Amino acid sequence: MKIGIVGAMDEELAPIRALSTHLERIEKGAREYWHGDMHGHQVYLTRCDPGKVNSVIAAQQLIDLFTPDCLFNMGSSGALSPELEVGDLVVATEAIQHDFDLTGWGMKPGEMLFDVKTASESGQLTFTSRQVFPTDSRLTKLAYEAAQASELDTIAGHVPKVHQGRLVSGDQFISSREKAGQLWETHQALCVDMEAAAIAHVCFINKVPFLCVRAMSDKADHTANISFTDFLRAATHNYGRIFDKLIKQV
């Protein structure tokens, strides 16, 4: 099986590269990829950089160039649910692009248009729509079980807990308690990031199974008694353990 893996930062990909054998670096245009073997599977990794457009470009190029059988995304997220602590993990079941707004047309927050046409007789627009992009149910179940069965590093004295549910993404860094509360009230999403929902969209269009695992870098009240560097070091070790166990089972 060929597995594509996209992360916003090199540090998030490092533990997967470390677990891969016969690793080779591939340059295609301005993008760098890494190809290796892991538990009998081929893995292809690339850094997308933050933001929805960056992540869409990286995901689509990876799919076009290497035709992976599934695509994984990992990274840090901000907690929206009051139940989440720094270091906790969310295995996403579905994703919404929270900054796509056609509520002025009477649509749901994050609901997107597809197949937009003008009807020949009435001249009215016709379209289909979708608000939620799902992750692959089988991969999500395996990842959730792998995370629960993994011995995870403590972060700021807290043993990470594993949750599963909805996340939201947008081209915004959520830094206010008011905005975080609004996203929680509107979408009941566990966490927020800047890439995952856009990658889920790409995978949905390409019919490629998608999996997303995110670690919380800050709480809904935006308090955290750990530096981002220290958080990232521990979180990436946890990703590595989870994906190592998961890829053995895929």
Q: How confident is the model at residue 121 (pLDDT cuts 50, 70, 90)?
A: confident
Q: Provide the H-helix boundaries in the chain.
A: 10-19, 52-66, 137-149, 177-187, 196-206, 228-249
- Assigned token pair, 230: 């220290």
The pLDDT tens digits of the residues spanning 39-72 come to: 999 999 999 999 999 999 999 999 999 999 999 9
The answer to whether the Cα torsion of 4, 241, 169, 225 is positive or negative is negative
pLDDT surpasses 70 at 221: no
Q: Provide the H-helix boundaries in 81-165.
A: 137-149
Residue predicted with more confidence, 136 or 219: 136
The answer to whether the Cα torsion of 235, 236, 241, 245 is positive or negative is positive
3-state secondary structure of 175: coil
Q: Which residues are catalytic?
A: 12, 218
> CA 30, CA 138: separation in Å to the nearest integer?
34
Q: Can you give the residue ranges of every domain in the chain?
A: 2-249
Q: What is the pLDDT of residue 152?
A: 93
Q: What is the pTM of this model?
A: 0.94
Q: What is the CATH number of domain 2-249?
A: 3.40.50.1580
> CA 152, CA 238: separation in Å to the nearest integer?
5
The answer to whether the Cα torsion of 198, 203, 204, 210 is positive or negative is negative
